[in-house]
């Protein structure tokens, strides 16, 4: 089975966004996102795509939207209109897949996730978008990497890596 990795950052109450953007400044978490998604088939919803606004280098972007006539405006960006198309793209691509948001895509793809990389931010923001509920009995924690709050990072955080149990 192809690796399907979900990557997100959440606060203590599972907020992942506010007004279509990240509600914190964590440069090392952005570096982690780049590390985890480079060289992969990176899949995101249309709203997440709009918040990024362009293809990111060294990865293939697939945008899921229910708007049949929507176009990304970039020839190299793939568009899907149904989860079945996303699953077909994953099956037909030799690279690992990373799910980069948003909330509804995380929820829809959770049954297919093989790995989770969750940055747990030590704070509560006034978020309006939330991470999916994860049944951690289905996953094994394989690594936990703490990062302190400092002059470059608004909050302390811990990166937790999970792998689905067989």
| Secondary structure (3-state) at 36 | helix
Query: What Rg value do the Cα atoms of the chain yield, rounded?
Result: 15
- Beta-carbon contacts of 22 under 8 Å, excluding residues fewer than 6 positions away, are 9
15-17 and 129-130 beta bridge pairing: antiparallel
Q: Are 81 and 103 in contact (CB under 8 A)?
A: no
Q: What pLDDT is attached to residue 1?
A: 67
- What pLDDT was estimated at residue 33? 97
Domain boundaries of the chain, sorted by first residue: 4-164
Query: What is the predicted pLDDT for the residue at 122?
Result: 98
- pLDDT (tens, 9 = 90+) of the chain, 166 residues, equals 689 999 999 999 999 999 988 999 999 999 999 999 999 999 999 999 999 989 999 999 999 999 888 988 888 899 999 999 999 999 999 999 999 999 999 999 999 999 999 999 999 999 999 999 999 999 999 999 999 999 999 999 999 999 999 8
| CA–CA gap between residue 8 and residue 5 (Å, rounded) | 10
Report the pLDDT value the prediction gives residue 76, as an integer from 0 to 100.
86
Question: What residue ranges in 35-106 does DSSP mark as E strands?
Answer: 41-45, 60-64, 78-80, 97-99
Contact 37, 56 (CB under 8 A): yes
Architecture of domain 4-164: 3-Layer(aba) Sandwich (3.40)
pTM equals 0.94
Mean pLDDT of the chain: 95
CB 112 within 8 A of CB 1: no
């Amino acid at each position: 089975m192809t690796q399907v990795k979900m990557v997100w950052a959440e606060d203590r109450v599972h907020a992942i966004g506010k007004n279509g953007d990240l509600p914190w400044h964590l440069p090392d978490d952005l570096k982690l996102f780049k590390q985890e998604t480079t060289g992969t088939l990176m899949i995101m919803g249309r709203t997440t795509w709009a918040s990024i606004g362009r293809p990111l280098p060294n990865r293939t972007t697939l945008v899921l939207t229910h708007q049949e006539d929507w176009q990304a405006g970039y020839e190299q960006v793939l568009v899907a209109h149904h989860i079945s198309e996303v699953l077909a793209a994953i099956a037909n691509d030799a690279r690992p897949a990373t799910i980069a948001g948003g909330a509804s895509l995380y929820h829809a793809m959770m049954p297919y996730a093989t790995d989770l990389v969750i940055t747990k931010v030590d704070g509560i923001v006034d978020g309006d978008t939330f991470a999916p509920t994860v049944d951690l009995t289905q996953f094994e924690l394989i690594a936990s990497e703490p990062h302190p709050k400092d002059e470059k990072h608004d909050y302390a955080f811990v990166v937790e890596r999970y792998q689905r149990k067989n």
